[in-house]
Amino acid sequence: MTTERTLPTGFVWGAATAAFQVEGANAEDGRSESIWDRFCATPGKVRNGDDGSVACDFYHRYPQDIALMKELGLDAFRFSVAWPRIVPDGRGTVNEAGLDFYDRLVDEVLAAGIEPYATLYHWDLPQVLEDAGGWVERGTAEAFAEYTEVVARRLGDRVTNWITQNEPRVAAWLGYGLGIHAPGRSDLGEMLAAGHHILLSHGLAAEVLRRDVPGARVGIAFDLNPVYPETDSEADRAASWAADGENNRWFLDPVFRAEYPQDIVERWAPAAPPVLDGDMATIAAPVDLLCVNYYTRRVVRAVEDGFAEVYQGDSPHTDIGWEVVPDAFYELLVRLRDEYAPAAISITENGAAFEDIRLHDGQVKDPERQAYIASHLDAVERAVAAGVPVEGYFVWSLLDNFEWAEGYRRRFGIVYVDYPTLERVPKSSFHWYRDFIAGHRA
């Protein structure tokens, strides 16, 4: 894709990973069991019975992966910290060996001239906390603030950019509502409680970061799926607004407006989030960075009791079945600016799963992924040209990795991981991204 537009100097070029998806070493150096270890060990939950015990072995091979980031010319690397490595019992005793790992990681990332972006929660809750009720319990949000303090005190002298929570909707809706992610519960009331306590934990962690890390920039990452009505009928438009409410407004409104959207509160009554006095103000303390994870849109039609998703058979889709719609990404970014006016936006995840095949010459060619990333970067450029304050872009992902309930089958990396040998093979999209970044800098 050629374009005359350019992104501003200082635009942050990045790549992202998450602890459980890449680290492996799940029983090493004092790490305790997480809800994802337990979920993987539960028959029928994860495709092929895959688990995170080895993953990409990033825990041991991170120096090699940082060398790849350097070759890409990245400005920034987004990783997540595994809570069960830091506070194995969920609360109380700190595991120094776990902190040491992230200490070394941050040092090596910085030594490569790359800025670390630390996510504090990317879904790997210590199982002991789940046994005590998990995110349904308010105490888990308090435990998260304690854990945040421990990490902030160790890494805060070198890490400026912090993402408290990754995709609260996925953690709560899929984990506690639909039961297709860990911990695998399905109850509307529990789902709303989990969602609320995850948002509350963000607010509590933000307070800790601002207190303990001078100059901290605090963000929260949402999976935002813009929703479109199948037709222009009033019923479809109402259905689309409701789906948008459940997916997007339920999380954006508390953080930016200190309230849950009333139409959705009514839809879900008598189930309700357990809001106590002061919670909404805690959740809505200003964030420095709205972190946007974007992959696809949703199209819905009105049905008897709400809405139903309509598969867009004529559109291109990725290997995980997600429709490819860069224009929806552009429209989402403009809408965020117009309706929520965030101080700054970072695209903390964007990318595509395709069934990559390693050729006889050892190479992996992934023109579809390259086209996906190029068209979405074009959408970012258009949004920036329209005045949306997007300051960075992180491709998901640096490496093929453990794609949650889908196991290792779905490959999102710009680097191919040959799982039997753990060899890293940069795909053609890697070389393209490297050149694209260099071209923008020139």
Contacts with ligand FCB, residue ranges (CB under 6 A): 18, 21, 166-167, 170, 223, 293, 349, 396, 403-404, 412
Give which of 187, 311, 158 is closest to 195, Cα–Cα. Answer: 187
- Select 223 or 381, whichever has its Cβ closest to ligand FCB: 223
- Select 160 or 166, whichever has its Cβ closest to ligand FCB: 166
Question: Would you give the end-to-end CA distance of the chain in angstroms?
Answer: 17
- Compute the least distance from the CB of residue 239 to ligand FCB, in Å: 24
DSSP state of 353: -
- Select 23 or 230, whichever has its Cβ closest to ligand FCB: 23
CB 97, CB 29: distance < 8 Å: yes
- Select 221 or 384, whichever has its Cβ closest to ligand FCB: 221
- Compute the least distance from the CB of residue 316 to ligand FCB, in Å: 17
Three-state secondary-structure class, residue 45? coil
Q: Which of the residues 23, 130, 149, 167 is marked catalytic?
A: 167
The length of the chain, given as a count of residues: 442
- What does the alpha-carbon distance between residue 23 and residue 18 come to, in Å, rounded to a whole number? 8
- Select 83 or 150, whichever has its Cβ closest to ligand FCB: 83
- Compute the least distance from the CB of residue 397 to ligand FCB, in Å: 7
Give which of 8, 78, 14 is closest to 221, Cα–Cα. Answer: 78
Active site residue 349: yes
- What does the alpha-carbon distance between residue 287 and residue 284 come to, in Å, rounded to a whole number? 8
Q: Which residues of 100-130 are buried (b: 16+ CB within 10 A; e: fewer)?
A: ebbeebbebbeebebbbbbbbbbbbbbbbbb
CB 153, CB 212: distance < 8 Å: yes
- Compute the least distance from the CB of residue 6 to ligand FCB, in Å: 28
- Select 34 or 95, whichever has its Cβ closest to ligand FCB: 34
- What does the alpha-carbon distance between residue 308 and residue 306 come to, in Å, rounded to a whole number? 7
- Distance from the Cα of residue 265 to its chain's centroid: 25
CB atoms within 10 A of CB 228: 18
- Select 132 or 320, whichever has its Cβ closest to ligand FCB: 320
Looking at residue 93, its amino acid is T
- Compute the least distance from the CB of residue 351 to ligand FCB, in Å: 7
Residue 217 backbone phi and psi in degrees, to 5? -110, 120
CB 135, CB 171: distance < 8 Å: yes
The vertex-272 CA angle with 270 and 277, nearest 5°, equals: 130
- Distance from the Cα of residue 344 to its chain's centroid: 17
Active site residue 167: yes
Active site residues: 167, 349
